[in-house]
A = this chain, B = another copy of it.
Amino acid sequence: MGRLEMSGEDNLLRLVEAEDGDENNYHLQDQVGFILRKAHQRHVALFASHIGDLTPPQFAALAKLHDIGETSQNQLGTLIAMDAATVKGVIDRLKARGLVEVSKHEVDKRRLLVNLTPQGREAIERLIPLARAITEETLAPLTAKEAATFLRLLAKLA
């Protein structure tokens, strides 16, 4: 648009279209939600390329259990930002692979306690160094100072 020789009418058209292009047009690729989704996709792909047999949510569950020890499924979900339905599936799959074990809470019979198995502990301790490398690689496009700024601002949004 605006690349042709213009009559008076074309001039008006160009003005309208320029206004449309600069102010009214919606650029998906500039929206924070769209870029956030792509950045998240990139991180998941990097994670998969380094840790193929565990997903980021599964890793998060193991890492948190390693950090705090036995907890209820519900509490674990809160700590790793998963709703009850999602954490159920994650724990079921980790249980099926022998990385966690569940038991009933002695006094509060509603609660399902989750804990690492020895294999789970071995796995998470082996994988944590790889996870550190994934974090580094995810942030690799930024300088150290930029990465620090980015993490500070990202945390404000999360």
Contacts and interface: CB of A to CB of B under 8 A. Distances in A.
Contact of A33 (B47, B66, B142, B157): B47
B42 A40 contact: no
A135 B37 contact: no
A1 interface: no
Contacts of A131: 26, 31
Given A39-B154, A81-B37, A128-B26, A31 B139 contact: no
A3 interface: no
Interface in A77-98: 80-81
Contacts of A60: 28, 34
Interface of chain A: mostly helix, strand, loop or mixed: helix
Number of copies: 2
B151 A139 contact: no
A4 interface: no
A134 B23 CA distance: 17
Interface in A31-67: 31-44, 47, 56, 60, 63-64, 66-67
Given A26-B128, A132-B26, A141-B156, A56 B33 contact: yes
A35 B151 CA distance: 8
A153 B154 CA distance: 10
Interface of A: 25-28, 30-44, 47, 56, 60, 63-64, 66-67, 80-81, 128, 131-132, 134-135, 138-139, 141-142, 146, 149-151, 153-158
